[in-house]
Each structure stands twice: as C-alpha cells, then as structure tokens.
Amino acid sequence: MKICDIIKEEHIIADLKGQTKEDIINELIDIFKNDDRVQNIEKVREAILEREKIMSTGVGKGFAIPHGKTDAVKEIVAAFGKSNKPIDFAALDEQPVYLVFLLVGKDNLVGPHIKLLSRISRMMNKDVFRENLMAAKTAKEIFEIFQEEENNYFEIT
C-alpha cells in the first residue's frame, strides 16, 4: 500500500491555521467531516488524542505523525498539513513541528497501518523531501511531491 493510495489532494492543507498541537490535530481530523469512510468523527478524534497522550508523535526534524486506530473508519484514512508557523508538539528532539501527517487506521488492519507509519517515517527522514514540502505553496504541489518521492520507493506489501 502506498501513501498516495490513501491521501488525496483534498486531504492536504498547505497552510495550517492552528497554533497548538491540539488545534492542528483537530484541523486535520475535520477534513473528514463529510467523508463516507469515516463513520464517527468524534471517535476518530478521541483515538488520535488518546494516542497522543501516551507519547508525543512529534518524531523530530520538524515532523509529527499523529495516528490511531479505531472502528469508526471503514478503511485507513490520512491527511497532511504544513504550518508556516512553528508548532510546539512536545517533539522528541524538542524542536517545533511544521509538517504533520495524520493517519487513522482501522482496528483490524494493524499490519497495513504499521507499514504506512514506517513508510511515512522513512520518507520524512529525508532532508530534501522535507525541504521540498516546506517550499510547496499548494495542496497540489504537496501531493505531487509525495507522488514523486513514492515513485523512488519499491512497493511495500
């Protein structure tokens, strides 16, 4: 499964408005308010925020990957946002976050969820990839950067 199989241009916010970690997470979750794949958006919100309480998903290098699993989605859904302002995400490296990838897995799809988290993390570890995302101005540009980067990867099943 590829990231571009689950994220679409309409699931990308090129200029997040939120100023706190919770604001940003809620802004990304709200993308799915009218999405047929999400059966209960408040259960999605609860799953993500509960996971965040366990340990920050600010993994470092200006990137966070809030995620969770719930039976409130019909399939894995994802959203991405970029902030032009530094966000305190309580990141592991204590640096502010600018890039946020939200991943919501289905309770019974643990394997694909973990593989997607791994793939996202590997991509985000590349300095040039993060720099390209930061330079992008539109959701379309961001989506194309994800597509281009994924074309450099072999298919992970």
Q: Which residues are catalytic?
A: 67
Per-residue 3-state assignment (H helix, E strand, C coil) for the chain: CCHHHHCCHHHEECCCCCCCHHHHHHHHHHHHCCCCCECCHHHHHHHHHHHHHHCCCEEECCEECCEEEECCECCCEEEEEEEEEEECCCCCCCCCEEEEEEEEEECCCHHHHHHHHHHHHHHHCCHHHHHHHHHCCCHHHHHHHHHHHHHCCCCCC
